[in-house]
Structure 1
């Protein structure tokens, strides 16, 4: 009997390995100690002690056997061949820094990189999660699921992280809903060896699981706040800064309110309800005027689960997370724009456990939106009297207006079934077969609600007569009539005389200037309907010390019409006291097809010009050279990633150490090839010549103890990509031009062009500055988020009675980085754009390539729990980031800007 009890206790610990002590009755006299047979790597010791008691004692009916079981807690590192890290609810709470979304927690794991803008000064007020890169992929290329439902937004490719006000799109996020970790029970993060069950991504995979009601009613609420008084900034000034005004910091406050209810209805069912409201308001200086910018995110969950039988579980879940931002450009007047986004989803799930195996059936609907409301015209005036507000920031141009209203909506419908058949064959090892399929339809709409016009290339013309054009032309005017001044002087003004010229300049009220070219995005609607079919089959084979998984996944969509077959192979071999070697070879196919199909359906932008006759602007007409183009995706392959991985694991110091190597060869990435169709229209044909290569070495050690856990990892990653293999050259060389820039290539939409500034040393040791015109798409490729040579993380959390403490340190090695600047630079425009057009220049934003030095940050939290008499508690919390006030080098060298220093949140919560 004693042995049976010991084995039973051992099985309980293996299923849920936590340190425990239990007492159980026994009518047999047992020996003083016994040991159950369990895996060595669980470090399990089962000790039982027989103790007789006096039958007359209260509660003593018989002899009592005390069984004490001590086991090693599971660490986030997987014990299987899958490259997965599991964070439980306690760990999620321990690292609730910042806005409390799941992306903030991912950074403690190896191989996870934050986006370039994650440490920018405006992130302290931003309520959107920072984009993260897993295994070298950009944020939108990784997969996100909540309770098995995809949370990927196909409306965005992660744009808007550096520049929220986009000309041809709406700034969005790779995730539909910004999920708060308070609603999560568990988070699984895959960086390699991902099972065949999961697909439609070429990066990592994040699986979030929401909590159930449990067997006891619980409810509570919490409030957290940060503000500008809780933040320190580092201010940096360029060498040419005149010092006339002090660099301003934002006046802001951010509030986070949470409430939850976990309520069992009976022994078989329960309800979960949760809501979070995150608000941010900040005061920014818009060209000398202080204005308030607002952001709001709601996060609501309603979940019902019901056990139909002991083997059948029904779950209904609704998630709604809308987002709104009220923004403006700090360097442009009349530039207000409102962005509405977020998503909602509904899930119906039936899980059935049968003698033959396990079945999971899911039906879900998802909707995400992304819209922008703003003015329909954007002007890039030259900084001259009458249009001189750009002087405030020392700019050469004065910006005005917006880029027009856009609505984007995505609706997705999905049905899938997953089956698991355990122990179907035991002749050669034990086999567990899993298979399933998924049907999905996705409808995406891009609606430009009004025609949008961008005016660029202004021309100074003191004698211009605007001829009734009031919006895009300004005439010269004076404070006093010139005739009155000349009458006082008794002579005509001679502008070649410096004194007379100064009199003339000081009398100017406005200087005449006009636009002779513009780009028009016509009012239009584009729609993309894509259907998907996915199937998979995987066999998990267990031998004595080896586990082998052989899987294959099939994906098909009716846009590219490619039959994609992705093998998934992984092997785990255990030897010498729980040492493990893991091997893997896998293929992952990317899925962001809606964006491609929308591009193909959109109406191209077109250029318009006007000539000047007798100092009067004429009517707008189509340009001889146009930058408008269409997309064509015929015979396009689906981009994919081939992965090879090797890992070694062993238990040490009560935890697990892991050494891992991952190689991702990203192939058939879509690039754009310029050409023309039979009608002479400019076409960007989709090719599959883009490629990149990612490699990472990482060393990790993670351990869980009775009241604390500790994790350490260090990674060295590289990501090689050639951007010119994607978009090619945006300029045409001019051998007669001595300038550092060349003539614009009109095959590109100039609203997606920016300058990349590089400083090069010449053979004589001089510093040579070069401005290269590139596309924003290429900038994104150039600043891959996985190009940091070394990243290290050390995290720790512990509970002692009423105190809960956690700390997290992160080191980022030096790297080449691309910095946005407030500068504009120009490129000359050809004189052949129209008859009677004057030569002029176009202005484009400047990005700067520089080396970013290494830096490290320390964050931490302190929570004190005060238990009340009615089974409830009050918790006071302090959450701090960059506690040592270190630099993050977000401001490029020789530039003026702000960097975030020390910052913290204060909070209070009530739980019952």
Structure 2
């Protein structure tokens, strides 16, 4: 769309990071090496030490230096960032533990470290409802990310080789806003708390993370955005070690800024009060010469409070959330290879209580259990008819996982009461029912109607998935390079259910409504929502349902990488099939790299990526809509339980089984240079993506919206990156300094007719450039959290032999032209619209700090003080807030202690 192009072409972002790495990086420095040497070294690391028929081993001891750890990979971490294993991986970025830690925001969310990377978007600078409230503070789930123009639910997240994606879908067609502190009545159709990731990775346990935003290897599939692969700490095989930490953030450590359009707080709101405590514990070591293990536990507690509305006696409401993560891994290094048994648990709950109801409570929870059995073995040199294979490594894994998101509420019935009928000038009738007046009172500041509500949000709801995966991957060296081949077989069971009927009595008749009969009270001949001075006249019932489905899918891939002098080529192909859509999807991958001289690499590639989330539609098929019923009283004031159904509403229709699988075609070009003056690494990239056969909606009438393949999209970006590590022994007390920098320009365009957004909704329409949009559809057109021009600068250092580590991260969003609500309305094609126009937004600079001071050190034991400061300059940005939630979080601090033993 024109407006999306305009916004994408003019805006931008920048990031600056200054970090002081640990002593282990400073103690051993290595000279800079060329990409060719790095590629050769890393190829050897892939094949050794198991290339001689020895069992597979891993000497990365949970983030510590082991005797067999390749020093070049530790000492020069940011060469690896821009020089991954394959020359064709021009779109791959790898952060080691130090580079990862400095980019986190202190909250414990591993995704926060990815915010400043090229082609990763996470901000909405044009948000007009960005005010912070208690529910946003309590939400400690992973941050949503858009990678290379993909939607936030189109990425492939992997944790230690375990897929952690919500294949049952995390987006609702019934509205996508989560519960807010001032939410009046939740949407009875939607499931709250759905998230694209099933395992919430704590940052304390991450050893490294790899992000693939383009030119992905054939081994990666089922995404249209990008790939994020987390590697967690591994068992220590040398000695028993442990770490423990605790960090605290509270409203006392936060600067709140009023961000309303006029800079005022007319409702005299108070900023949220809260406390967050993050803690973790890790223990690892050898059991004997064969077995080693690691056990890790992390939790984040958050609490806040708010006040009930006046009519509910203004009581305080305490809300909280709890995020638990537990992991156990047992490794066995045997003559038959490396065996690894691993289990992970995520247990997340977040409580909500409505301030506008007597007692409505909703507990949103996500629980995930994942287990993996893996075996890795490297064979001796193998002679085949095709040639000699060196370092042939076979990795086999079996994975079982179950993830469930639930909405638990206090009742499956809700009811409305009215205790006053009135106008703006006079009160006409008030209730005298003592049962109601015991918990609901009149508002003395007005004479209008007073409505009171009690009950729950509805029957408990659950959306869950169980997956069984078996896969193998084989790699080795053959001819003039390497090869890789593998497959995954997956069986998925999915379920989405409302476990009982939900009844909501939505409107009442009072004695004032029946005043022409001269009644003193109603006579209740039934027992359903009836009292002496009022009774329910309307009710809506959302019927129970239980949708289940199963999916069998198979993925296979084959890839070669061969080097012929100055030319390296990497052809590959990926096959994807399933028994739901029954499509055979073949995704070609091809990349070529030219090395005219040792320090320069030119790369180009074409790739196709297929989506992998078809079950999101299957389990939403035939979900019942709310059905309305009506009743009345007779001439004597008698009320019965006889209800009359109004116009039938039927079910929501979702049909996807006969469609083509959405896919993205990608063209990539890259240049990598090792600077001969400073030995720094430069990387320039251009990415062009075309999204095709995307799901879109066609209205068939009767509340049924047919899925089609008419949706389209496009993404374009250009990035420049730099990385350099200096040996700075000439500066007293300074051990080590590393600098990284990047700049990204991007443009994005998406069709507005996404299946999950109802473009036929005539309420809350937006008029922009002579075209009508729904609110949700307009958000798709104007960007996927995109700030089209971005830059990053990062610097890391270590002082006093690693006793003091300091990091700064500065992000700058360049000025851009976006859109905003003018506050005016206009009739367009017979429907009233809010008018939106272009607006020039200012640049935004945010600077973060990450520091660690060792207070005590004795051998392997130490005690450290940690300080994380976000948004040091208290920048508000361009987003704004409304009068109900006028505050935006500015400068904030996390303070903590950690110990190693």
Q: TM-score, normalised by structure 1?
A: 0.76
1:412 aligned to 2:470?
no
Residue 215 of structure 2 corresponds to 193
User: Relative to 1, partners in 2 of residues 1:558 and 1:815: Cα closer, same or farther, differing over 3 Å?
Assistant: farther
User: Relative to 1, partners in 2 of residues 1:271 and 1:523: Cα closer, same or farther, differing over 3 Å?
Assistant: same
Residue of 294, 300, 307 corresponding to 2:333: 307
Correspondences of 1:318-333 after superposition (within 5 Å): 318-333=343-358
User: How big is each residue's C-alpha offset from its partner over 1:403-444, in whole Å with a ceiling of 9 and x where there is no partner?
Assistant: 431022211100000011311xx3xxx142211111101111
User: How big is each residue's C-alpha offset from its partner over 1:54-100, in whole Å with a ceiling of 9 and x where there is no partner?
Assistant: xxxxxxxxxxxxxx999965241135211110111122233342322
SS of the residue corresponding to residue 619 of structure 2 reads helix
User: Relative to 1, partners in 2 of residues 1:704 and 1:686: Cα closer, same or farther, differing over 3 Å?
Assistant: same
Residue 741 of structure 2 corresponds to 712
Indicate if the aligned counterparts of 1:390 and 1:396 stay in contact, CA closer than 8 A: no
Size of the aligned set, in residue pairs, is: 770
My pick for the range that moved more, 641-650 or 68-77, is 68-77
SS of the residue corresponding to residue 780 of structure 2 reads helix
User: Relative to 1, partners in 2 of residues 1:540 and 1:210: Cα closer, same or farther, differing over 3 Å?
Assistant: same
Offset of residue 316 of structure 1: 0.8
My pick for the range that moved more, 538-547 or 811-820, is 811-820
In structure 1, what is the Cα distance between the partners aligned to 2:650 and 2:32?
78
Residue of 425, 435, 442 corresponding to 2:485: 435
User: Relative to 1, partners in 2 of residues 1:612 and 1:629: Cα closer, same or farther, differing over 3 Å?
Assistant: farther
Indicate if the aligned counterparts of 1:137 and 1:786 stay in contact, CA closer than 8 A: no
Offset of residue 784 of structure 1: 3.8
User: How big is each residue's C-alpha offset from its partner over 1:244-264, in whole Å with a ceiling of 9 and x where there is no partner?
Assistant: x52111111100111111212
Indicate if the aligned counterparts of 1:115 and 1:131 stay in contact, CA closer than 8 A: no
In structure 2, what is the Cα distance between the partners aligned to 1:847 and 1:269?
66
Offset of residue 847 of structure 1: 12
Correspondences of 1:603-752 after superposition (within 5 Å): 603-609=624-630, 619-624=642-647, 626=649, 628-652=651-675, 653-675=678-700, 682-706=703-727, 707-724=736-753, 726=755
Residue 163 of structure 1 corresponds to 178
Offset of residue 394 of structure 1: 14
Indicate if the aligned counterparts of 2:494 and 2:548 stay in contact, CA closer than 8 A: yes
User: How big is each residue's C-alpha offset from its partner over 1:775-832, in whole Å with a ceiling of 9 and x where there is no partner?
Assistant: 75x36634643432222222222111211000111123456879999x9x9x9xxxxx
Correspondences of 1:524-535 after superposition (within 5 Å): 524-535=545-556
Residue of 133, 139, 151 corresponding to 2:164: 151
User: Relative to 1, partners in 2 of residues 1:818 and 1:213: Cα closer, same or farther, differing over 3 Å?
Assistant: farther
In structure 2, what is the Cα distance between the partners aligned to 1:247 and 1:320?
39
SS of the residue corresponding to residue 599 of structure 1 reads coil
User: Relative to 1, partners in 2 of residues 1:637 and 1:683: Cα closer, same or farther, differing over 3 Å?
Assistant: same
Residue 787 of structure 2 corresponds to 788
Indicate if the aligned counterparts of 1:719 and 1:786 stay in contact, CA closer than 8 A: no
User: How big is each residue's C-alpha offset from its partner over 1:358-398, in whole Å with a ceiling of 9 and x where there is no partner?
Assistant: 10000010111100112335678899667998999999996
Residue 337 of structure 1 corresponds to 362
Correspondences of 1:40-439 after superposition (within 5 Å): 74-79=79-84, 80-82=87-89, 83-114=91-122, 116=124, 121-122=132-133, 123-157=136-170, 162-164=177-179, 166-167=187-188, 168-214=190-236, 215-237=238-260, 243=266, 245-287=267-309, 288-309=314-335, 312-355=337-380, 356=382, 357-374=392-409, 375-377=411-413, 400=453, 401-423=456-478, 426=479, 430-439=480-489
SS of the residue corresponding to residue 558 of structure 2 reads strand
Q: Which structure has the larger Rg over C-alpha atoms?
A: 1
Gap regions ≥5 residues in structure 1 = 1-15, 23-33, 45-67, 478-511, 732-743, 746-753, 763-769, 828-840
SS of the residue corresponding to residue 422 of structure 1 reads strand
Indicate if the aligned counterparts of 2:881 and 2:887 stay in contact, CA closer than 8 A: no
Offset of residue 871 of structure 1: 3.2
Residue of 881, 893, 897 corresponding to 1:908: 897
User: Relative to 1, partners in 2 of residues 1:546 and 1:459: Cα closer, same or farther, differing over 3 Å?
Assistant: farther
In structure 2, what is the Cα distance between the partners aligned to 1:846 and 1:457?
29
In structure 2, what is the Cα distance between the partners aligned to 1:457 and 1:694?
48
Offset of residue 575 of structure 1: 2.1
Residue 558 of structure 1 corresponds to 579
Indicate if the aligned counterparts of 1:689 and 1:725 stay in contact, CA closer than 8 A: no
User: How big is each residue's C-alpha offset from its partner over 1:146-200, in whole Å with a ceiling of 9 and x where there is no partner?
Assistant: 1111011224425697423553213221111111122222111100011111111
Offset of residue 35 of structure 1: 14
1:859 aligned to 2:848?
yes
Offset of residue 624 of structure 1: 2.8
User: Relative to 1, partners in 2 of residues 1:535 and 1:578: Cα closer, same or farther, differing over 3 Å?
Assistant: same
User: Relative to 1, partners in 2 of residues 1:647 and 1:773: Cα closer, same or farther, differing over 3 Å?
Assistant: closer
In structure 1, what is the Cα distance between the partners aligned to 2:875 and 2:447?
29
Indicate if the aligned counterparts of 1:120 and 1:899 stay in contact, CA closer than 8 A: yes
Residue 64 of structure 2 corresponds to none
Indicate if the aligned counterparts of 1:42 and 1:72 stay in contact, CA closer than 8 A: no
In structure 1, what is the Cα distance between the partners aligned to 2:833 and 2:503?
18
Cα RMSD (Å) of the superposition?
Answer: 4.3
SS of the residue corresponding to residue 620 of structure 2 reads helix
SS of the residue corresponding to residue 876 of structure 2 reads coil
In structure 2, what is the Cα distance between the partners aligned to 1:894 and 1:467?
45
Gap regions ≥5 residues in structure 2 = 1-23, 42-70, 180-185, 383-391, 423-429, 431-439, 516-521, 728-735
User: How big is each residue's C-alpha offset from its partner over 1:457-504, in whole Å with a ceiling of 9 and x where there is no partner?
Assistant: 8899942487749987899x7xxxxxxxxxxxxxxxxxxxxxxxxxxx
My pick for the range that moved more, 160-169 or 131-140, is 160-169
User: How big is each residue's C-alpha offset from its partner over 1:190-233, in whole Å with a ceiling of 9 and x where there is no partner?
Assistant: 00011111111111001111222232221121110011110110
1:444 aligned to 2:494?
yes
Residue 774 of structure 1 corresponds to 774
Correspondences of 1:28-47 after superposition (within 5 Å): 39=36
Q: TM-score, normalised by structure 2?
A: 0.77
User: Relative to 1, partners in 2 of residues 1:594 and 1:40: Cα closer, same or farther, differing over 3 Å?
Assistant: closer
In structure 2, what is the Cα distance between the partners aligned to 1:393 and 1:421?
78
SS of the residue corresponding to residue 672 of structure 1 reads strand
SS of the residue corresponding to residue 139 of structure 1 reads coil
